[in-house]
Structure 1
Amino acid sequence: MKYQHIFFDLDHTIWDFEANAKATLLDLYAQHRLTDRGIESFPLFFERYSYHNERLWDRYTKGFIKQDELRWKRMWLALLDFKIADEMLSHQMAVGFLEQLPLKNAVFPYTIEILNYLTAKNYQLHLITNGFEAVQQKKLYNAQLQGFFQKVITSEVSNSLKPNKEIFLFAMEQTGARVENSIMIGDNLDADIQGAINVGMDSVFVNHLGIQPHIPSTYMVHHLQQLESIF
């Protein structure tokens, strides 16, 4: 067996961040009565939030902004698009989002099945995630995923971010794995796949969206069940 240690990304790879974030934001939209503030359409608000969140996450992963700024500015900028300049509301929604998001439990199809399959074949499963420590642990608990992973390596604890090699080296140290017997599975080419390349590790690109990859991976799948053909 070539691989002994399998490192998964969490958000967008097995935990359906888009579905869970959308459900959480819909709750916040109702709780804060944003229709009364002039935002008549939740889909429009969600589109603006998603736009700003993607760009702020890119800045965060590149080290240009800190966690706290990411958390509240994505709300602030989305509200500002509707001419709501309310910093207090932005902070309230940011806190509410992080509190409520981990309570959602949508995962991608075949997530539980593939984790059971890999566990039964005696692979050692771990997570490497750029998410926040407490939030990621809550997600795992509420989605009933925590029992599958021996080690959860977050950017917060490792003091590094994918694709930097340091977070992968920290993961090797924490798990006792070696690059040659490990593989990274993730949906993000720039973070997961480039990160694996940076440290010399094989990788699987989980191409849920069917995009044309701009960074080469060792393997590519479009559905989690296809991992069975690799392992």
Structure 2
Amino acid sequence: MAYKTLFFDLDHTLWDFEQNSYHTLSHIYDTHELATIGVPSVAVFYEHYKVHNDRLWARYRNGFIGREELKWKRMWLTLIEFKIGDERLARALSQVYLEALPHQQALFPFAIEILEYCKAQQYDLNLITNGFEDTQWKKLNAAGIGHYFTHVITSEATNSLKPHAPIFEYALTAAGADKQGSLMIGDSLEADIMGAKSFGMDQVYFNPEKIPHEVQPTFEISCLSELKQIV
């Protein structure tokens, strides 16, 4: 298949969300002296936050909760794990997290190299992300990769979320592309791979931890450099 248009996911695909989130939560842990109120370590704080963040993002993606609830409740539920039932603190820490996180710059290995390669091969590069508009642009600019993309399609701007078809349809229209000549590259089996597959677009599943699964994507890679073998 001769692809012309590439659609990348951002978080967990190009931008290393886990590393950036850990650094942000570590800063919060230290500056707000969370050890003094019963949070034993940064690592434990991060692991609990990750569980609640992943669960609430799934609920948000499926329409069960709204954006504002997602933003603060993941921190509140994390604090509850340590018997800290302080909603005001949870909201304050959530705000600090949201302001600091997008300024982190860690990317996955070979992210810059593969973007440079794809540009040199004259592919039209675009993003489809379930993240919030302002936050995602801050991440792109902080990491220095915003200029690679012709269009940045966010769920907030389109009022639709991956894996649902409208956001993919919007992206194709914005890019002036068609399904047959387009390729979706992302880390989420549900949002990126199954979403694109149901829509009729080929997919590359980025699976750096080589987690077993039963989905059959068009392609699968464990390192971004492997994308050169596909495009």
**TM-score, normalising length from structure 2?**
0.98
Q: Give the C-alpha shift of residue 40 in structure 1.
A: 2.3
Deviation at 1:65, TM superposition (A): 0.3
The correspondence of residues 153-168 of structure 1 with structure 2, limited to 5 A, is 153-168=153-168
Counterpart position of 2:93: 93
Letter in 2 for 1:81: E
Question: How far off its partner does 1:213 sit?
Answer: 2.5
Identity, in percent, stands at 49
CA contact (8 A) 1:12 1:187 kept: yes
Deviation at 1:46, TM superposition (A): 1.0
1:130 alignment partner in structure 2 = 130
Amino acid at match of 1:23: H
**3-state SS of paired residue (2:6):** strand
1:192 maps to 2:192: yes
- 1:8 matched to 2:8? The reply is yes
* Contact kept in structure 2, 1:189 and 1:214, CA below 8 Å: no
Could you tell me which residue of structure 1 aligns to residue 121 of structure 2?
121
The amino acid across from 1:125 in the alignment is L
Structure 2 counterpart of 1:191, which letter? Answer: A
> Which residue pairs with 2:41 in the alignment?
41
State the 4+ residue runs in structure 1 displaced beyond 4 angstroms. none
Structure 1 alignment gaps of length 5 or more: none
Say which is worse superposed, 39-48 or 177-186, in terms of deviation.
39-48
How much has 1:218 moved relative to structure 2? 0.4
Give the letter for the 2:167 counterpart: I
Structure-2 separation of matches of 1:145 and 1:154: 16
TM-score, structure 1 as length reference: 0.98
Shift of residue 214, structure 1, vs aligned partner: 2.6
Amino acid at match of 1:4: K
Residue 32 of structure 1 and its aligned partner are, at CA, apart by: 1.3
Q: 1:198 is matched by which residue type in structure 2?
A: S
Q: Distance in 1 between matches of 2:45 and 2:177?
A: 44
Report what 1:108 is aligned to.
Answer: 108
Give deviations 1:30-52, integer Å, cap 9, x for gaps: 12110111112111111111111
Q: Which has the higher mean CA deviation after the structures are superposed, 117-126 or 50-59?
A: 50-59
CA distance in 2 between partners of 1:198 and 1:166 (Å) = 12
Q: CA deviation digits over 1:69-107, x for unaligned, max 9? A: 111111001101101011011001111111000000000
What residue number does 1:211 align with? 211
Q: Over aligned residue pairs, what C-alpha RMSD do you find?
A: 0.8
**Residue 35 of structure 2 aligns to a residue in which SS?**
coil
Report the counterpart of residue 170 of structure 1 in structure 2.
170
Please give the secondary structure, in 2, of the residue aligned with 1:171: helix
The number of residue pairs the alignment matches comes to 231
Matched, 1:221 2:221: yes
Deviations 1:109-151 (A, max 9, x none): 0000000000000000000000000000000000000010000
Deviations 1:180-212 (A, max 9, x none): 110100000000001111210000001111111
Deviations 1:139-166 (A, max 9, x none): 0000000010000000000100000010
* Matching of residue 64 in structure 1 with residue 27 in structure 2: no
